Structure 1
Amino acid sequence: MTRWRERWSGAVPRSAVVVHDLAMVWIVWVVLHRVRYGVMVSPPELPLWSTEIAMVLAAQGLVFWQVGLYRGLWRFASVPDLWNIFKACALGLFAIVLGLFLYNRLELVSRTVLLMYPFVLMGMLGAPRLLYRAWKDSNSDQTDAASVRILILGAGRAGDALVRDLRRLGSYQPVGFLDDARSLRGSKVQGIPVLGGVDDVAEIARETAARLLVIAVPSASATQMQRIVAACERSGLPFRMVPRLRDALEGRSLSGQLKEVAIEDLLGRQQVLPDWKAIRSWLGARSVLVTGAGGSVGSELCRQCARHGARRIAMVEQDEFALITVLASLRRDFPDLEYIPVLGDCGDTAVIRHALDASQPEAVFHAAAYKQVPLLETQLREAVRNNVLATETVARACREADVGTFVLISTDKAVDPGNILGATKRLGEMVCQSLVDPRSTRFVTVRFGNVLDSAGSVVPLFREQIRQGGPVTVTDPEVTRYFMTIPEACQLILQASAIGSQEAIYTLDMGEPVPIRLLAEQMIRLAGKQPGRDVSIVYTGLRAGEKLHETLFHADERYRATAHPKILQAEPRAVVVSEIHQALERLREAAGRYDLATLDLVLRRTVPEFQPIGSHAAPTAAPTTVVAFPSHASRKN
């Protein structure tokens, strides 16, 4: 008996399925003809086996095989399988009629039987499959006492699929659904009752002795997710969520695998969907080079290029561990592509020329930069050397090599800069403008702000502070920033590159700003703690160079919509090429002498809108107007 159960606890053997299906064809064909001719006074003699029956079985069996009826498993039979069976029966009938017509002109073949045949056969083939699945599901329900009792929030398709997966695992026992749709109250999904609404989760969890809550509403908006998570928190139970389809398709979550609710699930904005057709059309079969390839944005940019059609990826990175890490990850996930790792500083002319010669790229993404605002306020020389001089080195080398597109990854802090990061990135933008030649490389600038969970960003800082029990430090209760995920930031870069015209500046419509105070509170709650009770929030005051809010475009940068509804293009401000080149010469000389006074003076004169906040005295500058369009915070890559 044990062996029998072990044998039949898995999939039904394919040979047994073929025998079953052909037996059903034989039974249906013979029985329908006997019933049809049984009402006649002198019915013809109908043998149980004949050449005609053999032809019927052969024709129908070949159709079954060609349609792919034996590629599926009875264990997972569903409505699409029934449709596939009906197609096989209908096509089989056509093959049978054709064969018998050529053989004996359909002698003794009833037209009534031909009409009934595909429908009856579909029932005879489909019913055993569905009964087998129901039997397997019922056996899965017989879980042991140690199984985890689960309450599912959401009785839609995701909840239905989740129950099937949980039953197959066997170690979890769904005890009920919660859904706000009143029409579902009292009904059952997969035999499990819908017990109430989402707001009833705390009470129903106690009544059902649930030990885990699962949110099965992958299409919920940020506002809806905030309400659902708040209800789960009131219950005091741990909770997980079914991953969104997009996360599964892009490899950030495994299909069918539960994940913790992440902070991006609660942000007050919808992710921007790129135009994949335009991106693949532009990127397909190209060779690309990424500087700063080991950083948060640089490494994800490499992955996005690999996923969407690049044939060769060159990676320039000065951190050897970061380079070998991203290289190993890419080779594991995309083994068919060609990779060219280059260890070195992209500001070194020899390094970047070697990388360009080795890869012959058609597009270069310059992601290498220093970007930590408080640190750079005291590291002027390195900020200028990396964000300005290295940018000029890479951009000029690309123009000399006649690279098709050069993409500078900038920050919204370059707009009316109030810190060293913003001023150096703004000068980097101006350097690219000074190198524009309509007959050569196309220069594109992409600005964006806070990138969730990137190295050095506020999210990992808050997470570590919460892990240590607090306090969580927020600069000011009123400070706001705009956020996007790392993959979304990289998709913006690729989308803008595909759209980009010469000397264009692009940015993303980021929706509504998120108060950093609210972000901290939500992260504390996601950790299963209460703000102010378990983990305190301390306001430390704005640091040197920090603003309460950011702006997206300078007043003189007229912006307009692009082919993508969520990407905006600004008209760059005019620059005097000779002045930029002179400034670069002076900056390079001053950097060589570590002359901070000259570096500061040249930076202020070349970027006149630079008005230092905090530790620097702001020079007199022409006033600017804040564009009435929201922006987002400093780039975190």
Structure 2
Amino acid sequence: MVVFLPIFCAIYYLAFWLRFEGSLNVDGVLGEYGFRMFRSTILWAVGLKTLAFWGSGVYKIRSRYITILDLVNLSKAATLSSAALAMVDYLIFPNIMIPRSVFLIDWGSTILAVCGFCAGIRMVQDSGRIFRPQGDCRPTFIIGANQSGASLLRIIERNKESCLRVVGFLDDQSSRIGTRINGVPVLGTLNEMCALAQRYDVSDILLPADEIPGKIVRQLVEAGNSAQIQVQVLPSYQQLLSGKVEMKPRPVCIEDLLGREPVQLDMQNIRNWMDDRVLMVTGSAGSIGSEICRQLLQFSPKKLILVDRTENSQFFLERELIKLGYNGRFDVVIADINDSKRMRAVMREYQPDILFHAAAYKHVPLMESNPGEAVKNIALATKHLADLAEEFEVGTFVMISSDKAVNPTNVMGANKRIAELYVQSLAARSKCHFVTVRFGNVLGSAGSVVPIFTQQIQNGGPITVTDARMQRYFMTIPEASQLVIQAGAMGRGGEIFVLDMGEPVLIVDLAADLVHLSGLKLGEDIELEFSGLRPGEKLYEELHVAGEKHVPTCHPKIMVAEKVSFSEQFILEAFQRLSDLTEQPSDVILEEIQRILPEFQSAYLKSNQSTFKRAA
């Protein structure tokens, strides 16, 4: 403010000097009339301008980070001070009448002078970067001539400690070639990456996360490896705001290679469906359940109820959500979905409008050894919860299923399929919209293949793969969770929604990618071993039950599986028999499951049948 006082005086004097065309008398001052007018109003002009700038917060602007919004605020302050001076001139000095051109010249000169002053300070502050020897910095490219790329460029240029010098952008749109962002040209397309990198001596390329599909990332990484170029990923704004990542480049990870274009949600439809309603998520402490909770809290539910029996995981989830600013918008409930009395009390207390059922056992080999527990925790638990949803008039019940429910060869998948059938049977006669969402493997979920491979690599190997032909569909946790929410909003009851999981991935290729991304070589640094199929595992996951067709929906990544009819009486009788057999030997339980689902092909039963035939 002290610095601006003489600047304001000089600007006001300049406005009069220009208005009176530099007219001077013998004493070397302005013409008598103009000088008297200037002298009478200078204190008012400077005082009002100082107050306007103070009130608008202009003095608090940090020159190095000045933005368009700051310039707009500055213009408002200058306009306000000029208007105030005009009113003072009209009310207090009616005999003077300052010429209107003086106001206009003073207003424009003030904006230009203050902007120039801030620009000068910024040049001084950035002089170390501007005049830094370019030879000390490594040339680099940024992929994406867009908002993320421009933001990354500004961060690099303003960082005095940065050892990078951005020499150009690469973009997938050829129409942007030749344009410039902050003086840096868009040099070419992604296909020209290696040739341009060789021409400009670039060995590092920066890629803002989530900007391009994983398939293209894979191509860039493979091309870069052949040309000895390192592609590094910068975290996205969404990741930064969630506090999940550090602000530094990282090597490309497996999620980048397998990721697809971001899911586009019908936000208005989802908001109409869930805003100001009570939502409940079972299995909230699990990988999918916890991510569904995070996604749901981005909307405006009346309350979110987190239900899980795992106390420790619930504790850490609660702390995370509070840290993200969601305190007061959710309740954490410790409850076992198999405990019907406890769940009835929870439903009576909270009266949920929408229920996402994500609680279930999921480890295939363990369920093969414990089929009775699988029946209790998957099939029977879903039945009890669905019955409660109908009893307490829940608006929508969303069950999360698995692609392992399709032509199941394991106990976990078979129980998921039986649960699907029961949910569908209820939908035919219930006011509640019973909806099922079916998808495949999720990257990074607890116990999934990627964390296992990563741990094996850290231990020095070997990486164990069951079979060279094994392949799976993969989704990221946020992608799966968002599509579950979208499918729930679309459901009208009875649908089995099948999510588009892209192309299947060979597990061997997945292992090789992880070894490579760790900076190692498969077969040299890390060995690969084949252990053989485990009980209940399939080489290929399937998307269609026999006789089932997939019909497109209004969302490009969600399809509906046409219903395969079963009588409600048959399903109820099947559940009654299962509930009576949970403590029986495994073969008894498996035979009953096969009776309900003739397509169920149990390896345990096959081996026992072979043994019986040999004995006979």
Which of the five TM-score ranges fits, normalised by the shorter chain?
0.7 to 0.9
Map residues 95-106 of structure 1 onto 2, 5 A cutoff. Answer: 95-104=84-93
**In structure 2, what is the equivalent of residue 119 of structure 1?**
108
> Is 2:2 the counterpart of 1:25?
no
- What does residue 350 of structure 1 align with? 341
SS in 2 for 1:45: helix
Q: Secondary structure at the match of 1:435?
A: helix
CA distance in 2, matches of 1:420, 1:414: 9
Match of 1:385 in 2: 376
Q: What letter corresponds to residue 100 of structure 1 in structure 2?
A: D
Q: Which amino acid aligns with 2:9?
A: W
Q: CA deviation digits over 1:428-476, x for unaligned, max 9?
A: 0112223336554321111111111001111111111221222323334
- Paired residue secondary structure (2:35): coil
Aligned to 1:306: 297
Aligned partner of 2:596 among 580, 603, 606: 606
- Counterparts of 1:496-511 in structure 2, within 5 Å, are 496-511=487-502
Residues 105 and 183 (structure 1), Cα distance of their counterparts in 2 relative to 1, 3 Å cut? farther
Q: Does 1:229 align with 2:221?
A: yes
Q: Note the C-alpha offset of 1:425.
A: 0.2
Deviations 1:588-620 (A, max 9, x none): 11113x2333322221122233234x454399x
Structure 1 residues 120 and 223: alpha-carbon distance in aligned structure 2, compared to 1, 3 A threshold: farther
Shift of 1:321: 1.8
Change (3 A) 1:105 1:551: farther
Q: 1:363 pairs with 354, 364, 372, which one? A: 354
Matched residue, 2:614: none
Question: Greater CA deviation, 430-439 or 373-382?
Answer: 430-439
Q: Does residue 597 of structure 1 match 2:587?
A: yes
Alignment correspondent of 1:518: 509
| 8 Å CA contact retained: 1:143, 1:173 | no
Q: Is the Cα contact below 8 Å between 1:154 and 1:179 reproduced in 2?
A: yes
TM-score, length-scaled by structure 2: 0.84
Residue number among 395, 404, 408 corresponding to 1:413 in the alignment: 404
Residue-by-residue CA offset, 1:54-79 (whole Å, 9 max, x unaligned): 44345544544565534532121245
Aligned CA distance change for structure 1 residues 133 and 616 (closer, same or farther; 3 Å): farther
Gap regions ≥5 residues in structure 2: 26-30, 609-616
> Alpha carbons of 1:94 and 1:221: their partners in 2 closer, same or farther (altered >3 Å)?
farther
What amino acid is the match of 2:301?
Answer: A
Amino acid at match of 1:376: M
Write the deviation string for residues 331-369 of structure 1: whole angstroms up to 9, x where unpaired: 333453254433342111122112223332222221111
Q: 1:99 to 1:480 in 2, by over 3 A?
A: farther
The offset of 1:484, in angstroms, is 1.6
Q: CA deviation at 1:127?
A: 1.3
Inter-partner Cα distance in structure 2 for 1:575 and 1:367? 24
C-alpha distance after superposition, 1:384-404 (max 9, x if no partner): 111101111111122222222
Query: For residues 545-571 of structure 1, what are the alpha-carbon distances to aligned partners after superposition, in whole Å with 9 as ceiling and x for unaligned?
Result: 333433334354444343433222334
Q: Tell me the amino acid that sits aligned with residue 457 of structure 1.
A: S
What amino acid is the match of 1:611? Q
Counterpart of 2:99?
110
Give the residue type in structure 2 aligned to 1:401.
F
Cα 1:356–1:218 change in 2 (3 A) is closer
Closer/same/farther in 2, CA of residues 23 and 280 from structure 1, 3 Å limit: farther
Tell me the equivalent position of 2:572.
Answer: 581
Name the CA distance, whole Å, in 2 between partners of 1:106 and 1:543. 99
Distance in 2, matches of 1:303 and 1:92, equals 47
Report the residue type matching 1:483 in the other structure.
Answer: F
How many pairs align?
A: 595
* Aligned residue runs from structure 1 range 211-610, under 5 A: 214-216=206-208, 219-230=211-222, 233=225, 240-249=232-241, 251-253=243-245, 256-267=247-258, 269-337=260-328, 339-436=330-427, 438=429, 440-554=431-545, 556-592=547-583, 594-610=584-600
Question: Which residue does the alignment assign to 1:77?
Answer: 66
Cα displacement (A) at 1:216: 4.6
Aligned-pair CA distance for 1:121: 2.1
TM-aligned CA distance change 1:154 to 1:98, over 3 Å: farther
Residue of structure 2 in register with 1:165 after alignment: 155
Q: 1:570 to 1:184 in 2, by over 3 A?
A: closer
Counterpart AA for 1:30: Y
Query: Relative to structure 1, is the Cα distance of residues 292 and 530 closer, same or farther in structure 2, using a 3 angstrom cutoff?
Result: same
SS of corresponding position for 2:582: helix
Deviation at 1:426, TM superposition (A): 0.6
CA distance in structure 2 between the partners assigned to 1:526 and 1:549 by the alignment: 25
On the 8 A contact 1:411/1:449 being kept in 2, the answer is: yes
**CA distance 1:216–1:397, change in 2 (3 Å):** closer
C-alpha distance in 2 between matches for 1:89 and 1:113: 13
Q: Tell me, yes or no, if the aligned pair for 1:154 and 1:215 is still in contact at 8 Å.
A: yes
Deviation at residue 46 of structure 1 after TM alignment: 1.7
Equivalent residue letter for 2:113: M
Q: 1:409 to 1:121 in 2, by over 3 A?
A: same
Tell whether the 8 Å contact from 2:427 to 2:434 is kept in structure 1 after alignment. yes
Which structure has more relative contact order (CA 8 Å, sep 6+)? It is 1
The answer to whether the 8 Å contact 1:479/1:549 transfers is yes
Confirm or deny: 8 A CA contact 1:74 1:129 kept in the other structure. yes
Contact kept in structure 1, 2:169 and 2:185, CA below 8 Å: no
8 Å contact kept, 1:233–1:528: no
Structure 2 CA distance for partners of 1:108 and 1:505, relative to 1, 3 Å: same
Q: Tell me if the contact between 1:559 and 1:569 (Cα under 8 Å) persists in the aligned partners.
A: yes
Tell me, yes or no, if the aligned pair for 2:231 and 2:251 is still in contact at 8 Å: yes
- The 3-state SS of whatever aligns with 2:369 is coil
State the alpha-carbon separation in 2 of the partners of residues 439 and 538 from structure 1.
51
Contact 1:436 1:442 in 2 (8 A): yes
Distance 1:143 1:322, change over 3 A: farther
Among 42, 53, 58, the alignment partner of 1:53 is 42
After superposition, the CA RMSD in angstroms is: 3.8
Of 602-611 and 78-87, more deviation after overlay is shown by 78-87
Letter of the aligned partner of 1:28 in structure 2?
I
- CA pair 309-217 structure 1, distance change in 2 beyond 3 A: closer
2:239 aligns to what SS in structure 1?
A: helix
Instruction: Determine if contact 1:179/1:198 at 8 Å carries over to the other structure.
Output: no
Compared CA separation, residues 434 and 598, structure 1 to 2 (3 A): farther
TM-score by length of 1: 0.81
